[in-house]
């Protein structure tokens, strides 16, 4: 039996992925490429829904791609591609825009959050239709599953609604995708503010970046916020900092939090931080090194991405052609 399709993506909106992106998303993607016919995308068209410096965007897109590959996305197993290199994304988004209600789009909470931050006058129309472009990203590839974080659940619901609406108005066209919500336990918190999730928009001191030098990572972990008692125990409510360190350690080592608590009985926070730093570096340093190597030859990296995009284009074009046909547009040839 052939494998079911799967699609996911991230925006190239920082010069490094952080540990949350790796443990919460990328790591799962690597595991899922065995079982699924996976499409992994760099969502550069989504990134420009908020202002971007062109040089920075170009660099971040390559850096994001290099980190995907370095973390284990295998371009021979999965189709790794750049959203803007597959024109059907923007084309299908237009069609889907035309079957999306204005009120429906207005209810998307991520738009509300982001447009509030940008103040409503400067928020773009692109930001408003962001979830519709995301629906196009997904539906072009007929995926059964879409692995995403909890924050993307509403966008997946919209995607399913649009797919069902299109199918019922124009005839069976799209597979109805399922969100594969990545485990809540894989959530990584900020080192300085351990009740907030680790994020590229937080202070650098609280964020472990894949592309940081090891010495920087050690310093950040050693300087992480704990609490005034000295017991190493998982208690997210009362001991958020220590619990986050235990969660990170567990995620990078595969050891259970219970076993770690037992192993640290009688030891201090200094010991915990040293071990966590070692374990984190053991995982991210090889990724950083490999990504750095890949970035030394951008021609080769670009051509690898172009061939992934060409492969993605085949399925995307076929889906788009069927959509155009169903809605009554004259075929091109």
- Map the footprint of ligand AMP across residues 99-158, applying CB under 6 A: 148-149, 151
What is the distance between the alpha carbons of residues 221 and 160, in angstroms, rounded to a whole number? 41
The reply to whether 198 sits near ligand AMP by the rule CB under 6 A is yes
Largest CA distance in the chain: 75
Q: What is the 3 state secondary structure string of 62-104?
A: HHHHHHHHHHCCCCCCCEEEEHHHCCHHHHHHHHHHCCCCHHH
187 is in the binding site of which of ligand AMP, ligand TRP, none (Cβ under 5 to 8 A by kind)? ligand AMP
Integer-rounded Cα Rg, in Å, for the chain is 21
The reply to whether 21 sits near ligand TRP by the rule CB under 6 A is no
For helices 109-117 and 130-139, give the axis angle rounded to 10 degrees: 140
Q: Is 114 known to be catalytic?
A: yes
Q: Is 255 known to be catalytic?
A: no
Residues 6+ apart with CB under 8 A from 190: 196, 197, 198, 199, 202, 203, 206, 207
The reply to whether 152 sits near ligand TRP by the rule CB under 6 A is yes
Alpha carbon 201 to chain centroid distance? 15
Contacting ligand TRP (CB under 6 A), which of 7, 19, 42, 93?
7
The reply to whether 32 sits near ligand AMP by the rule CB under 6 A is no
20 is in the binding site of which of ligand AMP, ligand TRP, none (Cβ under 5 to 8 A by kind)? ligand AMP
Residues near ligand TRP (CB under 6 A), total: 13
- Give the residue with the Cβ less far from ligand TRP, 11 or 224: 11
Catalytic residue from among 77, 144, 200, 205: 200
What is the distance between the alpha carbons of residues 241 and 162, in angstroms, rounded to a whole number? 41
**Tokens 């590839």 found at:** 141
Q: Taking contact as CB under 6 A, which single stretch among the options 75-83, 193-201, 291-299, 309-317 is the one that binds ligand AMP?
A: 193-201
Catalytic residue from among 145, 187, 197, 220: 197
Q: Is 219 known to be catalytic?
A: no
On whether the CB atoms of residues 298 and 65 are closer than 8 A, the answer is no
On whether the CB atoms of residues 88 and 317 are closer than 8 A, the answer is yes
Contacting ligand TRP (CB under 6 A), which of 14, 38, 42, 43?
43
Contact residues toward ligand TRP (CB under 6 A) are 7-11, 43, 46, 134, 137-138, 146, 148, 152
Instruction: State the residues that interact with ligand AMP by CB under 6 A.
Output: 10-11, 20-21, 23-25, 148-149, 151, 186-188, 197-200
Among all residues, which ones are annotated catalytic? 114, 197, 200
């Amino acid at each position: 039996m052939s494998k079911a399709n799967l699609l996911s993506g991230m925006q190239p909106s920082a010069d490094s992925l952080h540990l949350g992106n790796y443990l919460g998303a990328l790591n799962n993607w690597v595991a899922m490429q065995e079982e699924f016919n996976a499409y992994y995308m760099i969502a550069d068209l989504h990134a420009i829904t908020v202002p971007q410096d062109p040089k920075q965007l170009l660099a971040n897109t390559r850096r994001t791609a290099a980190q995907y590959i370095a973390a284990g996305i295998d371009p021979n197993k999965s189709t790794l591609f750049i959203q803007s290199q597959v024109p059907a994304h923007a084309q299908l988004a237009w069609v889907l825009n035309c079957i999306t209600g204005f009120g429906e789009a207005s209810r998307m909470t991520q738009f509300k959050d982001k447009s509030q931050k940008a103040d409503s006058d400067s928020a773009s129309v692109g930001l408003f239709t962001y979830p519709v472009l995301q629906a196009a990203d997904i539906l072009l590839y007929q995926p059964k599953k879409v692995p995403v974080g909890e924050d993307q659940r509403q966008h997946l619901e919209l995607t399913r609604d649009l797919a069902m609406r299109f199918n019922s108005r124009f005839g069976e066209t799209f597979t109805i995708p399922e969100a594969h919500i990545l485990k809540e336990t894989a959530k990584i918190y900020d080192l300085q503010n351990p009740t907030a999730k680790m994020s590229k928009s937080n202070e650098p001191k609280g964020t472990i970046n894949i592309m940081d030098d090891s010495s920087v990572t050690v310093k950040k972990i050693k300087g992480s916020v704990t609490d005034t008692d000295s017991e190493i125990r998982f208690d997210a409510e009362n001991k958020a900092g220590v619990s986050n360190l235990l969660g990170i350690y567990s995620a990078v080592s595969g050891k259970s939090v219970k076993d770690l608590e037992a192993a640290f009985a009688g030891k201090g926070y200094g010991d915990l931080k040293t071990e966590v730093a070692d374990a984190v570096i053991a995982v991210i340093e090889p990724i950083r090194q490999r990504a750095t190597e890949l970035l030394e030859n951008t021609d080769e990296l670009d051509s690898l991405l172009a061939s992934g995009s060409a492969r993605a284009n085949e399925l995307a074009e076929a889906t788009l052609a069927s959509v155009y046909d169903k809605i009554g547009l004259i075929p091109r040839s």
